[in-house]
Amino acid sequence: MSAERDWYRDEVRQIGTDYASVDEVASYDARMRKIRDVEAENREILSLLKVSSGSSVLEIGTGTGAFARTAARQGVRVTALDISPVMLAYAEQCVKKEGLSGIRFVRAGFLSFEAEKESFDGAVSGLALHHLPEPWKAVALRRVADALKPGARFCLNDVVFRWKPGEAPEAYFARIVELAPGSRKNFARHIAEEFSTLEWIMDGLLERAGFAIEHKSCQHDFLFSYGCRKK
């Protein structure tokens, strides 16, 4: 990084768990599949994106590549980004095993990917945006909007809080930590240390980045799914 850009966030520094090996990722994948219906989530995302065979989709924070694989099976071309080389290695292994084509994996993230302006038919990101603090979420969302064709959709799934200023934190945070699917301990750490934001801030961030929110749903009072259209 040049001295002139020493203010730019280094997104490669992981917040939360940094998986050190493909075996660790495999056990994360197995754990996720116990607590989430990943295939159903991915089918819903594809229908919200309104893309079809031959369309090009940008995925930011692909992780194990599950969405990219579901999309590729339907003929959608995916540029799948992640900052973690271990996640990318695992995702590439899965693609190879299945013999899929049409997925391009790139080591990059929200703040560093390179894309031609208005080049993608859709974009998606699951459980990754909360790795960035607020101002950088705004920069990231604007970069995603710039990469999309006008009218294209962006699906964002993430942990977002419904806590309202004035509400006792115990009434909300102490309650949702008990609702966490999977590990309570991991979710408590997520709430305390990571950068998940509040619903009204996320709505504003999306709108100010140039998106119209077409769909919003929420599970367990903290797992949000947004379907947005680039204005």
Ligand X SMILES: C[S@@+](CC[C@H](N)C(=O)[O-])C[C@H]1O[C@@H](n2cnc3c(N)ncnc32)[C@H](O)[C@@H]1O
Region from 98-106, 122-130, 192-200, 212-220 binding ligand X, contact rule CB under 6 A: 122-130
Region from 44-52, 59-67, 144-152, 164-172 binding ligand X, contact rule CB under 6 A: 59-67
99, burial (CB in 10 Å: exposed 0-12, middle 13-18, buried 19+)? exposed
Beta carbon nearer to ligand X, 24 or 207: 24
Q: Does 205 bind ligand X (CB under 6 A)?
A: no
List the interface residues with ligand X, window 11-50 (CB under 6 A).
Answer: 11, 32
Region from 45-53, 54-62, 173-181, 207-215 binding ligand X, contact rule CB under 6 A: 54-62
List the interface residues with ligand X, window 180-199 (CB under 6 A).
Answer: none
Beta carbon nearer to ligand X, 81 or 228: 81
R_g of the chain computed on alpha carbons: 17
Quick one: which H or E segment has residue 77?
Answer: strand 77-82
Q: Does 60 bind ligand X (CB under 6 A)?
A: yes
Asked if 165 and 201 count as a contact pair (C-beta separation under 8 A), the reply is: no
Asked if 131 and 125 count as a contact pair (C-beta separation under 8 A), the reply is: no
Q: Which of 110, 157, 113 lies closest to 132, judged by CA? A: 110
Phi, psi of 172 (to 5 degrees): -110, -65
Q: Does 61 bind ligand X (CB under 6 A)?
A: yes
Q: Does 127 bind ligand X (CB under 6 A)?
A: yes
